Structure 1
Amino acid sequence: MKILIAGLGLIGGSFALALRDRGIADEILGVEKSDENAAEALRLGLADRIVTLEEGVPQADLVVLATPVDTIPLMAIKALNHVTDRQVVMDMGSIKAELCEVISMHARRGRFVAAHPMWGTEYSGPRAAQHGAFTGRNAVLCEAERSDADALATVERIFRTLDVPVVYMGAEEHDLHAAYVSHISHVTSFALALTVLEKEREERHIFDLAGGGFESTVRLAKSAAATWVPILLRNKYNVLDVLREHIHQLQIMRRMIERDDAEGLTSAFGKANSIQRIIH
């Protein structure tokens, strides 16, 4: 299978490695707007050739869009404008409602599969790509009923070969859940990092005193703005809804601490501990 991947950073690059490792791709064509990233992707073996989207789409059996979410809708339209009934286009972005709305009336809508593998790290660029990144992680397919049966089957088969379980959701449902389990985590991490940088002016003290808990909580604050600003702004209503509830919970804890309410804090922490039943 000849595969075109637009965006050979963390997600697209890791997908390229997975496709090579499992013998799915005979050739990988890459699209990169940065000459530096293009050269790095070739050096790392993430792509065999670098092409433009317009050059690559007619050559590919599968087109994968793994660029920042604000660029995906237009790229999807451009790709669908040039595909045949034998080609498939998929994306790997973390928001779906806007994308699915933009392509909803396209004559080739059926050739598109809206996908979101639930994996990522705080790093970016081709050097962030990892082997085995998606193994055992769920991939969400949105509006699967709008995809042609053979296009959907192609993407499902690829994920199955990569040992990636598939979950099906509506686009708006996906974006709401993504705000709760992913997007708010990044907002919180960025905010905590800013809080510490504002209040603790002595950087050496941060280095000397920061333990594992602090490091794990602010890890996501190292994420690239180019990735996360578009995600937060294009999923703003869901993110704001989650943020309101998060701030409400912080205010409750603040009041309990102010009142020395040990019983209330113990009860709240016990309730919070139940999250381990869900994620482990």
Structure 2
Amino acid sequence: MKKIHIIGLGLLGGSFSLGAKKKLNDLVITGFDIDPKNQKDALTLGIISEVKETPDLDTDLVILATPADTLGGLLVKTLDQIGPETLVFDVGSTKSSLTKLTAGHPKRSQYLAAHPIAGTEYSGPKAAFEDLLDRKVMIICELEKTDLHLKEKAYELFDALNLKLRFMDPEEHDRHLAFVSHLSHISSFMLGQTVLQKMADEKNIFDMAGSGFASTVRLAKSSPAMWAPILTENKENILNALDGYIANLSSFREKIAQGETKELFDEMASINKIRDILELGK
């Protein structure tokens, strides 16, 4: 593998580039971003060597790392442009719509539906770093629909970056992500909003907010440009997750209102098992 082209030069796109350059020799990485500042920063930081709107015909991999609501049109356009030896994969947080959109495309076998479970609350090329993807999970959907020869190019990159591959149905992926990723971001944003509404004095927030608040509201610093499209793209699954979350909040509120100390204790003790589940995944 010699050539990679990245469209979307933010946290994920930039980190793929920096990680690949660290592990693979003699790579030429070009890219494009709709934001001229991101293009300039990506050049300055060595994320790309040259700005190109479209990949060369002999490019090995094209990585699409743009907001969720832009990926569909961009994916079809890119498949239309690429040569026969190029593989395209996206890193979007929703997969069902993309796999359905490309199902009948003549170059469907040149597409790999992927989603790395990696990120931070920061965005843009300056937030990218070479070890972001190290030992992270990469979810792959509909692997059987990707050309056997071409998928080896992606595997070479994933192996170099030390990614752990997991395989899922697209609908299953979107359903699970609504609960373990999308809902947590909504919760963090809404906690931040509630505190900002009720504590107008910023000094009090700064002085009184402990590490628990900081860790819980950390995701509220995430990019709205990335997350607003994700929430609408995966709307049905997210609404289902929100309905369950709101019902649990209402039930918990009622126990507090009724002074049911034992019931509160028992419920929280039962929820503590999430600790063991998360420890197993480390």
Q: What TM-score results when the alignment is normalised by the length of structure 1?
A: 0.97
Measure, in 1, the Cα distance between the counterparts of 2:80 and 2:34. Answer: 20
Separation in 1, partners of 2:119, 2:132: 8
Aligned residues between the structures: 278
> What residue is the counterpart of 2:74 in the other structure?
75
Structure 2 counterpart of 1:3, one-letter code: I
Deviates more, 1:102-111 or 1:24-33: 24-33
Helix, strand or coil at the partner of 1:81: helix
Q: Counterpart of 2:128?
A: 129
User: Match of 1:174?
Assistant: 173
Which range moved further: 262-271 or 166-175? 262-271
Q: Is 2:14 the counterpart of 1:13?
A: yes
Which structure 2 segments of 5+ residues have no match? Answer: none
SS at the partner of 1:135?
Answer: coil
SS in 1 for 2:69: coil
Aligned residue in 2 for 1:215:
214
Matched, 1:47 2:43: no
SS of match in other structure, 2:88:
strand
Deviation at 1:82, TM superposition (A): 2.0
Rounded Cα–Cα distance in structure 2 between residues aligned with 1:35 and 1:248: 45
Instruction: Name the CA shift for 1:206/1:42 in 2 (closer, same or farther; >3 Å).
Output: same
Compute the TM-score of the two structures, normalised by the length of structure 2: 0.96
Query: Which deviations, in whole Å up to 9, do the C-alpha atoms of 1:26-69 show, x marking residues without a partner?
Result: 1000111111110101000100001112xx24241111001111
CA deviation after TM superposition for structure 1 residue 2, in Å: 0.4
Mean alpha-carbon deviation: is it higher for 263-272 or for 112-121?
263-272
CA distance in 1, matches of 2:142, 2:237: 19
**1:273 to 1:174, Cα distance in 2 relative to 1, 3 A:** same
Answer whether contact 2:20 2:160 (CA < 8 A) is retained.
Answer: no
SS at match of 2:81: coil
Look up the match of 2:90.
91
Q: Is the 8 A contact 2:68 2:229 kept in 1?
A: yes
Mapping 1:63-212, distance limit 5 Å: 63-212=62-211
- Runs of 4+ that moved beyond 4 A: none
**3-state SS of paired residue (1:141):** strand
Return the letter of the residue paired with 1:47.
Answer: I
Residue of structure 2 equivalent to 1:239: 238
% identical equivalent positions: 40
Tell me the secondary structure at the aligned position of residue 4 of structure 1. strand
Tell me the secondary structure at the aligned position of residue 89 of structure 1.
Answer: strand
Supply the distance in 2 between the matched residues of 1:125 and 1:155 (Cα, whole angstroms). 24
For structure 1, which runs of at least 5 residues remain unmatched after alignment? none
Q: Mark the CA change 1:181 to 1:57 in structure 2 (over 3 Å): closer, same or farther.
A: farther
Distance 1:271 1:74 in 2: 45
In structure 2, the residue matched to 1:264 is 263
Q: Would you say 1:29 and 2:16 are equivalent positions?
A: no
